[in-house]
Chains A and B, each alone.
Chain A
Amino acid sequence: MAFENLTGRLQMALRRITGKAKLTEVDIEEMMREVRLSLLEADVNFKVVKDFTSEVKELAMGEKILKGLDPGQQVVKIVNDELVKLMGNEAVLVDFRQNGPTVIMMVGLQGAGKTTTAGKLGAYLRKNHQLKPMLIAADIYRPAAIDQLMTVGQKLDIPVFQMGIDVNPRQIVEKGLKHAKEQGYDLIIIDTAGRLHINETLMDELVDIKKISKADEILLTVDAMTGQDAVNVATAFHEALDVTGCILTKLDGDTRGGAALSIRKVTGVPIKFAGTGEKLTEIEVFHPERMASRILGMGDVLSLIEKATEEIDEDEAMSMMEKMMSGKFNFNDLLKQMKMIKRMGAFSGILKMLPGMGALANSGKVDDKQIVYIQAIIQSMTEEERKNPELLERSSSRRNRIARGSGRSTTEVNRLISMLEKQQAMMKKAANFSPEAMEKMAGGAMPSMQNPTAVSKGKGKGKGGFRLK
């Protein structure tokens, strides 16, 4: 069913792939089929899906990818990254004219939400860019359209210029502009009637209004629930008017909004704003990243990856990694590692993604509570003991003291000590062996061990010690 949570399909495919050391072409092919279905369910245009998945497939087959952490999640990340890239950069704002008023023209199909959005946009730009807006009512066709705009204007305290329904929209716009200049308004938003992109007469009207108004921005308003036809609509409006941006409305619904991707890919027009509710304040700058994960319908998987890649401070992770590899990993480091993990939240889910921690997670014994216990135990150690784990191995009285101090059993203390030992041993080997050998050694329990050289340095976007690329 199309209703069922959309992560389902991809996760099925992921499950099959997780645990494998390498992605084969067949695997990627299979993943791509799921991605394709997921995108189609999100209403991304068929043709766009086809092009997109074949591009992503090329990328996923690249060498770098196959060396990464968790192959399945990597593919999701690549897909998501490509989606974000395609969707363009955040906050491509309106270009404001320096001398004279900036003119924005709202265009689109019937029922897309132009009128409401015109008002919202006026208020938004007034607030954030200190402009003095005025609205022009150029929809003379839909019954009570002018009424609607007047009410919106009244609620927002934005003046509306109107001449009734018996005047040609071209003339209304001309007069409206003149009026606005005289009155010193520096932002003019023209609300045009909704129309079909195949209605030549009405499309010509828009072309004329564009000429008359010398509009700086022509914003195509598109309902986020639009299906396959979005491509036809956007292409036609763009061909006729050279649209400068797109506004996606009704995003507060439960649609996945694949139209955004289709429009962007086919016309190259950036999506600038999103309408997120019926209240006149509910408009925001479009966020490509949020949209990408919404379209992909894999928010949970993505946020996991995100957390793992972004919330760990890179340098911290790097030095941790070095320590681990050198075999000098002590209780202080373990505590730090625990804290890092805790910062990331959902312990057991993320654990698998950390080098060396896979075995721990798979033992099934560590839950979030466990972290607290481990912390308590380590905090009951002296600084010396933390630095030199051997001290504990030799002395049972030390172990008993720690158990008492932390309120945990001696068995738990012993388990922690042997866990650290095991990690040290594993790390030492990791420094000398290939990832494949590591995998074998850990009996597949460690998803994949990253080669230290693959950890990239450098801050900025996508920082994180455990890069997936």
Chain B
Amino acid sequence: MGIFQKLFGSKEKRLKAEKYKIGMEKTRRGSLSSLKDVLKQSKKIDEALYDKLEEIFIMADIGVDTVVGFVSELRKEVKKQEISSPIALENIIVDKMFELYLKGEIVNTNIRYNEGGLTVLLFVGVNGTGKTTSIGKLAHKLRKEGKSVMMAAGDTFRAGAINQLKIWGERVGCEVVAKSEGADPSAVIFDAIKHAKEAKVDVLLCDTAGRLQNKVNLMKELDKIKRTIEREIGSSHYETYLVVDATTGQNGLSQAKIFQEVTKLSGIVLTKLDGTAKGGIVLAIRNELGIPISFVGLGEKIDDIDYFDIEDYIYGLFADFFE
């Protein structure tokens, strides 16, 4: 029995994964060809089939290089296992997809809590990906898990950003530490850390202004924020998340690479999976840079965030296998 049946054989598992599938289903309806159709309609495993597979993976934004590597892995496996029926490929595809993500490691994306002390979560990313919203949703989630939370309004640049976070603070029911527009973001976060420690809060979630990774000055500003946090907290209870919009194409790789250089990344928050984009670029990011995915954003409501689960994600990518 393939890993694939093992995983998705149980009804419970399928229901859990349903949420991802819902987010991704519309894509398939609109997309040109679904994986299952392709496998079913192919008479044999030939170049035309491999081309089709490439197309499907590229359409999911997995990226040229990762896809090319992935398909060549598939070829090898087909040869090794002496497979000739296209439909038998489904197991191999799912298997290999897991391998691509796991890379033979145990991927642990749990927040490294500072038991009895303060844990700081910093959210970074390009403009408009969903940093502020993700902070709001995650703060709510962590609170429900029994943590006390606080937010720091580190975006002092974008018009209305501070108020946006404050509104989320009200929704969550937590304090938001803020200065005025134009203030030094490091100073805001420094104050917030101090305040959070005094108030004995468990988790401080820090917002930052959206910045394009090729803006040297803005990346320097981020470096300063990072050093401030490290000085106050150390690096073992401090996580940095890169927030990536699922509609992002190949530029996601450049984002991950450059942000990683400035602020070591704990993981990715993949947002807007409730749309029709599959966010495949995160697989390329994991494959090429080793950065895992920590959370997924599934909508704009306060509960629309979840821990990333590779099984659910792959289920979402290939849900039509199980219908």
Selected contact of B61 from candidates A109, A227, A233, A254, CB within 8 Å: A227
Given the known interface contacts A113-B128, A259-B249, the answer about A147 and B275 at a Cβ–Cβ threshold of 8 Å is no
Min CB distance, B299 to chain A, in Å?
A: 9
Min CB distance, B263 to chain A, in Å?
A: 18
Q: Which of A204-231 contact B (CB under 8 A)?
A: 223, 225-230
> Chain B CB within 10 Å — which of A46, A149, A225 has the most?
A225
Chain A hits for B166, CB < 8 A:
144
Given the known interface contacts A41-B64, A47-B32, A111-B129, the answer about A147 and B159 at a Cβ–Cβ threshold of 8 Å is yes
Q: Name the segment of B36-44, B52-60, B140-148 touching the other chain.
A: B52-60
- A2 to B66: give the CA distance in the assembly, Å: 9
**A-B CB contact pairs (8 Å), 26 listed:** A1-B288, A2-B64, A43-B61, A43-B250, A43-B251, A46-B59, A110-B128, A111-B130, A111-B245, A142-B300, A144-B161, A144-B166, A147-B164, A148-B164, A225-B252, A227-B61, A227-B248, A228-B58, A228-B61, A229-B61, A229-B275, A232-B27, A250-B212, A252-B214, A254-B214, A278-B127
Q: Which of A83-106 contact B (CB under 8 A)?
A: none
A112 beta carbon closer than 8 Å to chain B: yes
B254 beta carbon closer than 8 Å to chain A: yes
Asked whether A110 lies within 8 Å of B27 as measured between CB atoms, the reply is no
Asked whether A148 lies within 8 Å of B159 as measured between CB atoms, the reply is yes
Not counting A228-B61, A256-B251, a sample of 19 additional A-B residue pairs whose C-beta atoms are within 8 angstroms of each other reads A2-B250, A2-B288, A110-B130, A111-B272, A144-B166, A149-B159, A151-B181, A196-B275, A225-B126, A225-B245, A225-B252, A227-B248, A228-B277, A229-B246, A229-B278, A230-B249, A252-B215, A253-B213, A255-B254
Chain B hits for A258, CB < 8 A:
249
Asked whether B30 lies within 8 Å of A232 as measured between CB atoms, the reply is yes
Q: Which of B118-132 contact A (CB under 8 A)?
A: 126-130
Chain A hits for B275, CB < 8 A:
109, 196-198, 229
A241-268 Cβ-contact flags toward B at 8 Å (1 or 0):
0000000001011111011000000000
Chain A hits for B214, CB < 8 A:
252-254
B26 beta carbon closer than 8 Å to chain A: yes
Min CB distance, A436 to chain B, in Å?
A: 36
Chain A hits for B284, CB < 8 A:
2
Asked whether B58 lies within 8 Å of A223 as measured between CB atoms, the reply is no
Chain A hits for B239, CB < 8 A:
none
Selected contact of A232 from candidates B55, B63, B181, B276, CB within 8 Å: B276
Chain B hits for A47, CB < 8 A:
32
Asked whether A253 lies within 8 Å of B168 as measured between CB atoms, the reply is no
- A230 to B59: give the CA distance in the assembly, Å: 11
A145 beta carbon closer than 8 Å to chain B: yes
B158 beta carbon closer than 8 Å to chain A: yes
Asked whether A229 lies within 8 Å of B276 as measured between CB atoms, the reply is yes
A37 beta carbon closer than 8 Å to chain B: yes
Min CB distance, B278 to chain A, in Å?
A: 8
6 shortest interchain CB distances as A-B pairs? A227-B249, A111-B128, A148-B160, A43-B249, A151-B159, A143-B167
Q: Which of B208-267 contact A (CB under 8 A)?
A: 212-215, 245-254, 257
Asked whether A198 lies within 8 Å of B249 as measured between CB atoms, the reply is no
Chain A hits for B64, CB < 8 A:
2, 37, 40-41
B281 beta carbon closer than 8 Å to chain A: yes
Asked whether B58 lies within 8 Å of A253 as measured between CB atoms, the reply is no
User: Looking at chain B's contact residues, is the secondary structure mostly helix, strand, loop, or mixed?
Assistant: loop
Asked whether B277 lies within 8 Å of A227 as measured between CB atoms, the reply is yes
B163 beta carbon closer than 8 Å to chain A: yes
User: Looking at chain A's contact residues, is the secondary structure mostly helix, strand, loop, or mixed?
Assistant: loop
- A318 to B30: give the CA distance in the assembly, Å: 55
Selected contact of B247 from candidates A46, A141, A226, CB within 8 Å: A226
Min CB distance, B238 to chain A, in Å?
A: 26
B312 beta carbon closer than 8 Å to chain A: no
Selected contact of A1 from candidates B65, B247, B276, CB within 8 Å: B65
A152 beta carbon closer than 8 Å to chain B: yes
Chain A: CB-nearest residue to B214 = A254
A122-160 Cβ-contact flags toward B at 8 Å (1 or 0):
000000000000000000011111111111100100000
Min CB distance, B301 to chain A, in Å?
A: 11
Selected contact of B274 from candidates A37, A150, A152, A196, CB within 8 Å: A196
Chain B hits for A111, CB < 8 A:
127-130, 245, 272
Asked whether A3 lies within 8 Å of B251 as measured between CB atoms, the reply is no
Selected contact of B127 from candidates A109, A113, A155, A259, CB within 8 Å: A113
Selected contact of A223 from candidates B55, B128, B130, B181, CB within 8 Å: B128
Q: Which of B4-41 contact A (CB under 8 A)?
A: 26-27, 30-32
- A110 to B127: give the CA distance in the assembly, Å: 11
- A10 to B64: give the CA distance in the assembly, Å: 15
Chain A: CB-nearest residue to B32 = A47
A residues within 8 Å of B by Cβ?
Answer: 1-3, 37, 40-43, 45-47, 109-113, 115, 141-152, 155, 196-198, 223, 225-230, 232-233, 250, 252-256, 258-259, 278
Chain B: CB-nearest residue to A153 = B159
Asked whether A229 lies within 8 Å of B247 as measured between CB atoms, the reply is yes
Selected contact of B300 from candidates A112, A141, A198, CB within 8 Å: A141
Chain A hits for B251, CB < 8 A:
43, 225, 253-256
Min CB distance, A122 to chain B, in Å?
A: 14
Min CB distance, B70 to chain A, in Å?
A: 14
Chain B: CB-nearest residue to A225 = B251
Chain A: CB-nearest residue to B245 = A111
Given the known interface contacts A43-B250, A112-B128, the answer about A142 and B164 at a Cβ–Cβ threshold of 8 Å is yes
- A109 to B300: give the CA distance in the assembly, Å: 12
Asked whether B159 lies within 8 Å of A253 as measured between CB atoms, the reply is no
Min CB distance, A256 to chain B, in Å?
A: 8
Selected contact of A198 from candidates B59, B181, B276, CB within 8 Å: B276
Min CB distance, A64 to chain B, in Å?
A: 31
Min CB distance, B165 to chain A, in Å?
A: 8
- A141 to B133: give the CA distance in the assembly, Å: 12
> Chain A CB within 10 Å — which of B30, B127, B157 has the most?
B127
Min CB distance, B209 to chain A, in Å?
A: 9
Chain B: CB-nearest residue to A112 = B128
Asked whether A46 lies within 8 Å of B249 as measured between CB atoms, the reply is no
Chain B hits for A278, CB < 8 A:
127, 157
Chain B hits for A226, CB < 8 A:
247-249
Given the known interface contacts A142-B164, A148-B159, A151-B160, the answer about A250 and B276 at a Cβ–Cβ threshold of 8 Å is no
Min CB distance, B160 to chain A, in Å?
A: 3
